Amino acid sequence: MLNIAERYSFIGKDIPRRDADSKVRGLLEFSTDISVPGMYYGRIVYSPHPFADIEEIDTREAESMGAVVITPKDVPSKPFNIRLVSVNEVTFKDWNILTFSPRYLGDPVAAVAAPSEELAQKAAESIKFKFRKVYDPILDAFESMGSQSAPIREKILKGEEEIPVRRNVGAELNYLEGDLEKGKREADVVIERAFKTNRRYHFQLEPKTSLCVPEHDGRFSIYTTTQTIHNTRILIGQVFGIPLSKISVKRIPIGGSFGSSIQTNLVTLISVALCMKAKKPVKISLTREEDMYDHADYEMHLKLRVGARRSGELTFGELVNIMDIGAHQVQAYPLLGTALGWFVSLYKWKNIKYEGKAVYTNKTPSCAFRGYGAPQISWAVESIMDELAEELGMDPLDLKLKNYVGLGDVFWGQGPTVRSVIRSDGVKELVEKGKQLIGWDRRKPPSMKQGRYRTGIGFGRSFHTSGAGGPISGEVIDYTGATLKLNEDGTLDYITALQDHGGGTLEAHAKIIAEELGVPPHLINIVPSDTSVTPYDVCTHASRGTYVGGEAAQIVKSKVFEAATRILPKAVNPEAFKLVYDETLEQAVVYVEGMKDMRITLSEIARTSWQRNWGTIAATVSYRATSAPPTFTVFFVEVEVDTYTGNVKPKRVVAGADLGTVINPKLAEGQLHGGFVMGWSMAYLEDTIYDRRTGELLNKGMVVDYKIPTSQDSPKLEDFKVIFANTYEPTGPYGAKGLGEAALNPVAGAVANAIYNAVGVRFYTLPITPERILEAISGGGKQ
Amino acid sequence: MSSLNRMNTRILPTSFNYYEPRTIDEALKLLSELSPEVRILAGGTDLIVKMKARQVEPKNIINIKRIEGLRYITEEKGKIKIGALATWRDLEKSWQISKKIPALFDAISVMGSVQVRSMATIAGNLCNASPAADSAPPLLVHGAIVKASSIRGTREIPLDKFFLSPGKTILMPDEIVVEIEIPVPPQRSSSAFLKLSRTAMDLAKASAAAYLEVEDGKVVDAKIALGAVAPRPVRSLSAEAELIGKPATEETFSLASRQVVKDISPIDDIRSTASYRKKVSPILVEDALKLAFSRIRGELG
Ligand SMILES: Cc1cc2nc3c(=O)[nH]c(=O)nc-3n(C[C@H](O)[C@H](O)[C@H](O)COP(=O)(O)OP(=O)(O)OC[C@H]3O[C@@H](n4cnc5c(N)ncnc54)[C@H](O)[C@@H]3O)c2cc1C
């Protein structure tokens, strides 16, 4: 069998990204770089208390400075949800653009616009409040559910129906499968542990920005930080009652996201509200500090109970998932389902019980974060599986390989309504190779380690879905679209609403189209687009390695063949044609096998269609994936712990990924490097810590006290090995699957297991800081 | 009350008068006229951040970066002299520092990033008076002297006496630091600095510098200083007393380093905890002593 690079002209080859040069030179414009004449600058005003009811907002001073001011009275008051990915009936709505009832410190209560940002800032600072009531902030999920706690919300909307909120629980999901009691009876070993994850800030490079421009004909143009231009447009339309045909949301390069802009950002809606009142273009760029108050990961309190027979066969798994969601719901309900999905699709527990609750607190609202709960669930599960293996006297690799959900099994990564059967699985191959590379067999138990510096090796595995498609239409909206047109010289314009977060999604699309039509990627224009000219796309999320570009390319190809039958004498059957990229001509040729004169270049077909008035060869498709195949990943990590200071260093990493056909090897490797560093950071460094008294972030949003690793904190390149499984995903484009999130999911588990292997102490709270390690080692106990 | 509506690191909505003197005399005159409502601006890597965060709102700013003749590193009569405008990067490239003041060179290599080091001055680091200032412990153990000028003249302040409390030095509001002077250490001496932080670009959770002078296997002089474990960078006289006159052995270092807890008073903050800082301070000191000693032995051949 030919390897990928030999089989294909473009797929599997490293081709420089088209935006690399302009990014490096600072020429690429992000939303915050865009200015238009006459533009006002907006600033958002937040409640000085995290949990309060406001009686009155005094804006007189701001107005006397010449600022345009909006308060909750100036904006629509019907609650909505900023994320539109779930179908309406299961969308929980508790958001307003501005509120008289702030529930966390970043809850916007007013906004101002002025000709300069400095003036806007001064005006914002001059706004005064009179409070009806100020409550003590509730910063703990369990406290929040207690009978003593004030209700953070009393009523919210579910779809169009008003529902009460009891004990600050915003959403619930319970699940039972099999016979739990039977599973418990069959278990020879049972382990129960409670885990608490951290509440990380996404720390995407670009703080959120929005520019709203009123056009002369009554339309609004919007330039904003988003993973989904269409949902942004729909939400603006719904909230303000503006027809969609009057709103055009532009696709602007985004400076990373990691899930933080899956929803429509509040800053976008505020810029629209200000723009409507000021009748001027208004731009708001969040400061880094505001951005840190804007979004965070979900903090999960996970109680896990699992059982196995002596043979290592699992008999049951029980998970209680209490999520601290902060002050609003973004996708708490779907995540309760997805977290369950990750759990049941990691290992075959057989008998399953799940209890999930999403609890309001007076903290920054949680939203999706790369991995969407899988890094948290995988950390807990991979930790407890290692403990189970130790109890059983088994190698954790054997226990995991024996029980994992793999080839031919049903898997439902993205929650109960998104199920499919696994058709490609490279886990065994990756574990075998990784084991050799890291030297797993030389790994010693912690009891045999001595001295100040102790090394440990840990293993973690996980997976992620490629998208949220499925055979049936569930609770999740998932389809996308694109237009592809053959230009008059044989080059292509590719028009899609899909966003590239920086991972190279659109580059991969261009490659697939290039492969399909024999047009080199650099001759495919990825058209800067907006909602007006693109079919609906739900969102670039859930690692969707979508086939939409390839789908459009296939239609274009059949039209090209039809045109060829009109040009070449005697040709009647379009199906007889083949298309190949000719390296010497540097373009595609259409031909019939074995017939010398039946050969024509693609550019000649394009030119002829134009000259003879045959019209444009183009295709517009709307596409839904019928499955969401899992990309499997494994990480072997070697750490060194300084037992005198608790400092931990990552020494060596073997990262293995089964992503089917590797379309872009360098970019895929980059994802795994980045995934490791982010996972390392989750395991060892990050948390947003709140002042228990004031509800403020202890670091006040300042990056000086929110640390993520630098390159110096990462393993050396020569100590980081990437391996790809040799698999082919039959439902994916050219056999490919997604990678962005799978690259992160197993890391914290692998790191935690490595730390355990080094020092013999298990940690059940993230991050595992040097402080916690030293405390545990000197206390000699578990943490 | 939350600070979110006011503090940030991008927008500076306050106005101030800005001065750019070309000579030190001009600067001193301005300073005496404007003080105390004035701030000196050097690299700005502390000051501008604090202004945007609204921790300070000066009415007047005197940028001293345009003053000629304040950016130098020289050696004269047994003293290394560092001008007030010398940046960390200047020192990083200076062979005098890397060869003769190894603890300071250690500090430079773990301070900020190349970008920050290219803007920031050592004098600014001291005047900012952070308990975690990375240049402080090395300069303390090397017996540095700070020279401060005002229209009233120039005075010499031993660094030991320079720091008062977080953000506060002994400088009068009309004084400018013009030079930092370090005695060239004798033969058979060396020093080292170590820092614990969350990542490679971070302020210290705890730091320590050690200076050792050894003759015939005996410690004849020793200085220990720590950062981020007290309201100001501190010497550990208790540890020093346990070193001087003792044989230069690992056992001596270990016993002496345990004394440092007497001289520190760490707190809990977002970077670390008091109890952690207490535990690692002796470790840092012991490691720094060992490193300094190994450097001496390396030099002796
Ligand atoms: C990203 C980043 C990373 C950093 N990392 C570190 C680190 O690792 N370690 C560390 O110690 N610091 C670090 N810092 C802090 C800072 O860079 C240093 O303290 C730096 O040395 C300050 O020097 P400056 O010239 O920028 O001072 P400025 O900000 O200009 O001034 C600081 C203070 O000193 C006063 N001042 C300056 N010069 C004089 C003078 N000649 N006479 C009298 N007063 C004066 C100013 O009025 C001001 O109060 C970091 C800062 C940033 C932004």
Report yes or no on B3 lying in a domain.
no
CA A482, CA A512: separation in Å to the nearest integer?
13
Cα separation, B230 vs B224, in Å, equals 14
Q: Ligand 1 in contact with B121 (CB < 6 A)?
A: yes
Per-residue pLDDT, A662: 92
Distance between Cα B203 and ligand 1 center (Å): 12
- The ligand 1 atom at the shortest distance from the C-alpha of residue B42 is 30
Q: Which residues of B touch A288 (CB under 8 A)?
A: 8-10
Q: Is residue B217 part of a domain?
A: yes
* Res B284: pLDDT: 98
Which residue of chain A is at minimal alpha-carbon distance from B8? Answer: A289
Answer yes or no: do B51 and B141 share one domain. Answer: no
Pair type for strands B189-196 and B206-215:
antiparallel
Q: How much distance in Å is there from the Cα of A605 to the middle of ligand 1? A: 66
Average pLDDT per 10 consecutive residues for chain B, totaling 301 residues: 85 95 97 96 96 94 96 97 98 96 98 96 98 98 98 97 98 97 96 97 97 97 98 98 97 98 97 97 98 87 40
Q: Based on the domain organization, do B177 and B246 belong to the same domain?
A: no
Q: What is the pLDDT of residue B136?
A: 98
How many Å lie between the alpha carbon of A102 and the closest alpha carbon of chain B? Answer: 13
Helical H runs in chain B? Answer: 24-34, 47-52, 88-92, 95-100, 102-109, 114-119, 122-128, 136-141, 237-243, 250-257, 274-300
Same domain assignment for residues B255 and B213: yes
pLDDT of residue A1: 45
Ligand 1 midpoint to CA B76 (Å) = 26
Residue A14, pLDDT > 90, answer no
Q: Whose CA is nearest to atom 44 of ligand 1?
A: B127
Residue A508 · residue A448 · CB < 8 Å: no
Answer whether residue A138 shows pLDDT above 90: yes
Lowest mean pLDDT: which of A342-351, A501-510, A693-702, A746-755?
Answer: A501-510
Q: Are residues B152 and B214 in the same domain?
A: no
Which 3-state string (H, E, C) describes B161-216?
A: HCEEECCEECCCCCCEEEEEEEECCCCCEEEEEEEECCCCCCCCCEEEEEEEEEEC
Q: What is the 3-state secondary structure (H, E, C) of A25-78?
A: CCCCCCHHHCCCCCCEEEEEEECCCCCEEEEEEECHHHHHCCCEEECHHHCCCC
- For residue A110, the tally of other CB atoms under 10 A from its CB is 28
The pLDDT score that the predictor gives to residue A546 is: 58
Complete DSSP assignment for A671-706: HHHHHHHHHHHHHHT--PPBPTTT--BTTTT-GGGS
Which residue is listed with tokens 């081709």?
A15
Check A707 against B198: CB less than 8 A apart.
Answer: yes
- Is any ligand 1 atom within 6 A of the Cβ of residue B129? no
Does some domain include residue B11? no
Say how many Å lie between the CA of residue B121 and the centre of ligand 1.
6
Q: Which residue CA neighbors atom 50 of ligand 1 most closely?
A: B112
CA B110 / ligand 1 centre spacing (Å): 15
Residue nearest to atom 41 of ligand 1 (CA): B177
Q: Is residue B4 part of a domain?
A: no
Q: For residue B10, is it within any domain?
A: no
* B6 occurs within a structural domain: no
Per residue in A510-558, pLDDT (tens digit) is 999 999 999 999 999 999 999 999 999 888 776 565 567 778 888 889 9
| Pairing assessment for the beta strands B79-83 and A189-196 based on DSSP bridges | unpaired
Rounded to a whole number, what is the distance in Å from the CA of B62 to chain A's nearest CA?
22
In a domain, B113, yes or no: yes
Alpha carbon of A60: minimum distance to chain B alpha carbons (Å): 17
Give the predicted TM-score (pTM) of the model: 0.95
Give pLDDT, residue A623.
86
**Disruptive mutation site among A707, A769, A772, A777 for chain B (greatest number of B CBs within 10 Å):** A707
Same domain, B140 and B225: no
Q: Quote the domain boundaries for residue B159.
A: 73-183
Instruction: Decide: B91 and B49 in contact? Cβ < 8 Å.
Output: no
What is the set of domains in chain A, with CATH numbers?
34-135+205-256+261-294 (3.30.365.10), 299-471+627-781 (3.30.365.10), 480-537+548-623 (3.30.365.10)
pLDDT score, position A413: 73
For residue A70, the cross-strand partners are A111
CATH code, domain with B242? 3.30.390.50
Q: Is the pLDDT of residue A783 over 50?
A: no
Same domain, B178 and B197: no
Q: Which residues pair with B60 in a beta bridge?
A: B17, B38
- Chain segment A100-119, per-residue pLDDT in tens: 999 999 999 999 999 999 99
CA B206 from centroid of its chain's CA atoms: 13
Q: Give the separation between CA A85 and CA A652, rounded to whole angstroms.
A: 39
Predicted pLDDT at A409: 95
Q: A703 at the B interface (CB within 8 A)?
A: yes
Query: Do B230 and B264 touch, CB atoms closer than 8 A?
Result: yes
Q: What residue has token string 């508790």?
A: A94
- Residues of chain B neighbouring A689 (CB-CB closer than 8 A): 270
Residues B102 and B32 placed together within one structural domain of the fold: no
Contact B133 CB / ligand 1 (< 6 Å): yes
Any idea which of A615-624, A764-773, B94-103 has the lowest mean pLDDT? A615-624
Contact B271 A105 (CB under 8 A): no
> Residue A557: CB partners within 8 Å, gap ≥ 6?
A516, A517, A579
Alpha-carbon torsion angle A343, A345, A350, A356, nearest 10 = 30
pLDDT tops 50 at residue A16: yes
- Distance from C-alpha of A403 to C-alpha of A396, rounded to nearest angstrom: 11
Give the mutation candidate from A293, A644, A677, A769 for the B interface (greatest B CB count, under 10 A): A644
Structure tokens at A306: 């699992």
Do residues B124 and B204 both lie within one domain? no
ipTM of the complex model: 0.95
Q: Are residues B211 and B286 in the same domain?
A: yes
Domain boundary among B132, B165, B183: B183
Whether residue B195 is found in the same domain as residue B295 = yes
Residue recorded with tokens 């001291």: B126
Interchain CB contact of A701 with B (< 8 Å)? yes
Give yes or no for residue B91 CB within 6 A of ligand 1: no
- CATH assignment at residue B21: 3.30.43.10
Which residues on chain A are in Cβ contact (under 8 Å) with B9?
287-289, 702-703
Is residue B208 domain-resident?
A: yes
Assess whether B41 and B89 both reside in one domain.
no
Q: Is B134 in the pocket of ligand 1 (CB under 6 A)?
A: yes
| Residues A685, B5: C-beta atoms closer than 8 Å | no
Angle of the A548-567 helix axis to the A602-611 helix axis, nearest 10: 70
Q: Which of B127, B154, B183 is the last residue of a domain?
A: B183
Among the candidates B134, B167, B183, a domain finishes at B183
pLDDT band at A732 (very low <50, low <70, confident <90, very high): confident
Q: Which tokens hold the place of B18?
A: 């800005």
Distance CA A145, CA A138 (A): 10
Question: Could you tell me if A778 and A693 are in contact, meaning their C-beta atoms sit under 8 angstroms apart?
Answer: no
The whole-number average pLDDT for the span A660-686 is 95
Q: How far apart are CA A428 and CA A386, in angstroms?
A: 18
**A698 in Cβ contact with A689 (< 8 Å):** yes
Least confident segment among A150-164, A329-343, A404-418, A769-783: A769-783
Please give the mean pLDDT across all residues of chain A. 94
The contact set of B with A (CB < 8 A) is 1-13, 49, 53, 196, 198-203, 270-273, 275-276, 279-280, 283
Name the token pair of B78: 């047994």
**What part of A 264-303 touches B (C-beta under 8 Å)?**
285, 287-290, 293
For A144-196, what is each residue's pLDDT tens digit?
999 999 999 999 999 999 999 999 999 999 999 999 999 999 999 999 999 99
Mutate to test the pocket of ligand 1, among B10, B35, B40, B63 (most ligand atoms within 8 A of CB): B40
Exposure b/e, A418-448, CB count within 10 A at least 16 = b: bbbebbbbbbebbbebbbeebebeebeeeee
Confidence of residue A733 (pLDDT cuts 50, 70, 90): confident
B82 beta partners = B73, B180
At residue A216, the pLDDT reads 95
Structure confidence by residue, pLDDT tens digits, A241-274: 999 999 999 999 999 999 999 999 999 999 999 9
Q: How many domains does chain B have?
A: 3
Q: Contact, A254 vs A226, CB < 8 A?
A: yes
DSSP A163-179: EE-BTTEEEEEEEEES-
Q: Is any ligand 1 atom within 6 A of the Cβ of residue B224?
A: no
Distance B31 CA to ligand 1 centre (A): 19
- In this prediction, residue A781 carries a pLDDT of 40
Give the pLDDT confidence of A42-87 residue by residue, as tens digits.
999 999 999 999 999 999 999 999 999 999 999 999 999 999 989 9
Distance A681 CA to ligand 1 centre (A): 28
**Residues of B in Cβ contact (< 8 Å) with A293:** 4
Percent of chain A with pLDDT over 90: 83
Interface contact A19, partner B, CB < 8 A: no
Nearest to B128 by CA among B45, B193, B64, B196: B45
* pLDDT of A405: 97
Please check whether residues B205 and B241 belong to one and the same domain: yes
| CATH number of domain containing B85 | 3.30.465.10
pLDDT at A6 over 80: no
Q: Which helix (H) or strand (E) holds A102?
A: none
- Give the C-alpha distances (Å, rounded to integers) separating B169 from A660, A762, B45, B124, B166: 62, 45, 18, 12, 8
